[in-house]
Amino acid sequence: MITLFRNALVFAPQAEGKKDVLVAGKTIIAVKDVIPVPEGLQVEVVDCEGMKLVPGLVDAHVHITGGGGEGGPGTRMPELEIPMMIAGGVTTVVGCLGTDGITRNVDSVLMKVKSLRANGMSAWMYTGAYQVPPPSITGDIKRDIALFEEVIGLGEIAVSDHRSSVPATEELARLAAHTRVAGMIGGKAGIVNVHMGDATDPFRPIHHVVANSELGYKQFVPTHCNRNAYIFEDAKEYGKKGYVDITTSSWPYYTDEEIKPSTALRLLLENGVPLKHITFTSDSCGSLPGFDPETGKLVKIEMGLPSSILREIKDAVNEENLPFEIALQVATSNPADILQLSGKGYVKEGCDADLVVLDNEYNIVRVMANGKFVG
C-alpha cells in the first residue's frame, strides 16, 4: 500500500510547515515540500489541506489486561480494546500489571501485547507488578527483559504507597541494577517504571537508591507525579534530574487532589524541568481508586481511557498557551526516546507510519498504524 498525505501541516513533532508525506508499506519513505506521483502508480492520496499531521501517540503506561480489584472482584477493570486506542490517536502502548500481581499474571500481558501487534497496533510491556519480589514470565526478571523482544523493563513497582511491598533501598537498587544489565544485554532501555503513591516525601526511595549505588535518576520513570500537591512540588525539583510522568486519565475524577495534567506541564516547564524529561501517560484500564485516609477503605473507583492524553495536549495549547509542538512531544518523541522504541514518536523518513490527521480544533480525522488506516 502506498499513501500520500498531501499539503499537511506536519508536526514531527517539531513544526515542519506544510509538507507532503509518502508512506509505503509500514514506513514513511519521504517528507518533502512536494512529492509528485509517477504516472501509472497506484497511490491513495489524502488531502490534508488546513489539517495537522502528527505522530501516533505513544501511551507508555497502560493496564492492557485490565487492572483494579482493590474493592474486590466487582472492581476489576476490563482489558484494553483497540477502538479505545484509535479514539485517542494512540498507536503504541506499553503494557503493565499494577496492584493485582496475584490473580493477573505477566504471561497474559505478553499475550495481549502479541494480540495487539497481530491486529496492526504497536505494543511493548514491562515485566513485574507492584509487588517485590516481582512476578515474571520465566521466574527471573533479568531473563524476561533479555530474552523477550516485547519486554523493555520492569514495572510498575510501587513505592510510597500503602499497596506497595515497602521495598528496602537495597531491594529496589538490586532490581534496578538487574533491569539495567538485562536491558543492555537485550538491547532495551532497561527502565524501571515506578508507581508513586500518596506518602509524603514520595521520591525518597529513589533518592536513596541513587545516593547508595552507581545507578542514576534516569534509570527510573516515576509515574502519577501529579496525584497530589506535595508530590507535584517535589516533582518540580526531581524532574531536573530525572524523568517525570504525568497521569492524564485521573482528571477530572479527582479535581480536589490532583494537578490537572495540562497545567502540570506548564508549571514543570516554568520551574526549569527540561521538556525531554516530561511524559504524559493515561494509566488507562487500570483503576483510579480513592481511599478513606483514616480507614484505608476504598470509597471511589473510576477507569481512565487513552483519549485523555490528547484531551490534555489540547488543553495545554488552548488553556495553558503552550505551543502545540511543545505539548505534543510529551506523548510522542519523549516516551519513544526514553524507552528506546525504535521508529516511534516521529514523522521522519525511515520511521514507522504511525500517523494521526487532526483538524483545526485538534480533533481526530484519521489514524494510521503501521501504514494502514484504522478505525
In whole angstroms, give the CA distance from residue 101 to residue 69.
11
Clarify whether residues 224 and 175 are in a common domain.
Answer: yes
**Whether residue 329 sits in one domain with residue 230:** yes
Taking the C-alpha atoms of residue 43 and residue 153, their distance in angstroms, rounded to an integer, is 40
User: Do 13 and 151 belong together in one domain?
Assistant: no
Give 375's pLDDT tier (boundaries 50, 70, 90): confident
Whichever domain contains 364, its CATH number is 2.30.40.10
pLDDT at residue 141, as a whole number: 97
If asked whether residues 190 and 44 sit together in one domain, one would say no
Domain range holding 49?
Answer: 2-54+345-374
Residue 132 grid cell: 517485590
Helix extents (H) in the chain = 82-87, 106-118, 141-147, 169-186, 204-211, 229-238, 261-270, 307-318, 324-329, 333-338
Same domain, yes or no: 215 and 333: yes
Answer whether 0.75 is exceeded by the pTM. yes
- 77 shares its domain with 139: yes
| Residue 26 near residue 371, CB atoms below 8 Å | yes
Q: How many folded domains does the chain comprise?
A: 2
* Alpha-carbon gap, residue 353 to 361, rounded angstroms: 23
Interval 269-298: pLDDT, tens = 999 999 999 999 999 998 777 776 777 777
Active site residues: 283
Local confidence band at 104 (pLDDT 50, 70, 90 cut-offs):
very high
Q: What is the CATH number of the domain that holds 162?
A: 3.20.20.140
The model's confidence at residue 315, banded by pLDDT at 50, 70 and 90, is very high
Same domain for 162 and 248, yes or no, is yes
Q: Which of 54, 49, 51 is nearest to 326 (CA)?
A: 54
List pLDDT tens digits, range 133-171. Answer: 999 999 999 999 999 999 999 999 989 888 777 888 999
Instruction: Please give the Cα distance from 356 to 34 (Å, whole number).
Output: 20
Residue 34 confidence (pLDDT) above 80 = yes
